[in-house]
Amino acid sequence: MSEVTEGAVRPLIDGAARRRPIGLLLVAIPVLLMIWLVIWPAMNAIGRTIWRTDANGQLSFDLSSYVFFFSDRYSLDNLAVTLWTTFVCAILLLVICLPIALYLRFSHGRLSAYVQALAIFPMFVPSIILAFAFIRVLGPNGMVDILLNAVDLPKIRTPYLTPWGPVIGLVWDNIPLTVLILLAGLGSVANQSIEAARDVGANALQVFWHIILPRISNSVLVALSFSVLGIFSSFTLPYLLGPASPEMLGPFMQRTLREVQNPVGAMTQAVVAFGFCIVFGLFYVRSVARNQGK
């Protein structure tokens, strides 16, 4: 028992001098992992696409793979469809998830618990299963077609193997994360401020626009940059549901590396993707930093 009593004597908050090495050690593992698995390969890829061995075996500064990427119609089409998909998904996510999050924040009871469970559900469905379920339901002669046929309606124009296929899949896949982040943000909206606004005669739209939105703008940015990062580099859903051409950068990179056997081309595409992701990532870092500063 003596150990326990001794432990209890320890001050609740250690001195800063004793605490610091432990804190740094705890951070060191993820930081080292990130340097090893993310930053170093990224640097390596940038280096190997810029300094390349020429025909004489000499290392030299060479941007030709980037010149090719940005002058190649096919690569640019793929980049364009990736940006289009990301943009459309982000808009749709916001339009779908904000009402769900608002509903969950301001309503109580059993129904809202069910809605929440339903909104989180996609998180537990692996995307490969989602893709094949999508084909069965929304695909040609799928369940929707069968149901429509039963009531003598014409078949739908299936989104399978068109650019809308991955959009629908990716939006569904990203709903849980977006709803959770928005919900967390809505937690910081005090009931008092809404009641105060209502007391002075603000309608629902005005409450949303002037009270809620300014408080959660940060969460919206975080939610969007999270899902945008995932969507931009997604692979499985565009691969299984999207058209052969134009294809998103994820499948395009994998194909260039393995099937076209062009590692430099694949790395160039990766660096370009990395560049776009950094821009999205900066939004996130900026909004987190702004929050910390408060």
Partner 1 sequence: MKRRTFMMSTAGAAAGLAFAPRMSFAAQGTIDWYTSSDTNILDFWTNTVKPAFEAANPGIKLNLVDAGDGAGVIAIGERAIAAKQTKADPQADYFESADALLPAGAIKAGVYTNIKQAGLANYSKVNPLAIESEYSLPYRGSQVLLAYDTTKLKPADAPKTWEQLVTWIKANPGQFVYNRPDKGGSGGNFVRRAIHQANGLDPKAFKVDNYTQAFGDEALGKAWKLLADIAPSLYDKGAYSSGNTQSLQLLSQGVVTMIPVWSDQVLQAIEQGVLPAETGLVQLQDLALCGGFTRSVVIENGANREASLKLADFMLSEEMQSAILTELGGFPGVSWDHVSADLRKRFADIIPQSIPTFPGGKWEAAINDGWYRNVAPNVDRKS
Please identify, using beta-carbon distances, which residue of 88 and 120 lies nearer to partner 1.
88
Q: Does 144 bind partner 1 (CB under 8 A)?
A: no
Specify whether the CB–CB gap between 174 and 168 falls below 8 A: no
Say how many residues touch partner 1, by CB under 8 A: 23
In the complex, least distance from residue 136 CB atom to partner 1, rounded to whole angstroms: 8
**Distance of alpha carbon 77 from its chain centroid, rounded?**
22
Specify whether the CB–CB gap between 137 and 160 falls below 8 A: no
Please identify, using beta-carbon distances, which residue of 212 and 240 lies nearer to partner 1.
240
In the complex, least distance from residue 89 CB atom to partner 1, rounded to whole angstroms: 20
Q: Which of residues 242-261 bind partner 1 (CB under 8 A)?
A: 242-247, 255, 259-261
Cβ neighbours for 248, distance < 8 A, ≥ 6 positions apart: 78, 81, 82, 85, 166, 234, 238, 242
Specify whether the CB–CB gap between 230 and 280 falls below 8 A: no
**Distance of alpha carbon 95 from its chain centroid, rounded?**
16
User: Which residue matches tokens 């999270």?
Assistant: 226
In the complex, least distance from residue 244 CB atom to partner 1, rounded to whole angstroms: 4
Q: Does 262 bind partner 1 (CB under 8 A)?
A: yes
Specify whether the CB–CB gap between 75 and 69 falls below 8 A: yes
Work out which of 42, 48, 50, 77 binds partner 1, going by CB under 8 A.
77
Work out which of 46, 88, 94, 135 binds partner 1, going by CB under 8 A.
135
**HSE-CB for 247 with a 13 A CA cutoff:** 18
- Evaluate the omega torsion of the peptide bond into residue 243 and state whether it is cis, within 30 degrees of 0: no
Q: Does 67 bind partner 1 (CB under 8 A)?
A: no
Work out which of 44, 64, 107, 141 binds partner 1, going by CB under 8 A.
141
In the complex, least distance from residue 162 CB atom to partner 1, rounded to whole angstroms: 7
Q: Which stretches of the chain bind partner 1, using CB under 8 A? A: 74, 77, 135, 139-142, 158, 161-162, 239-240, 242-247, 255, 259-262
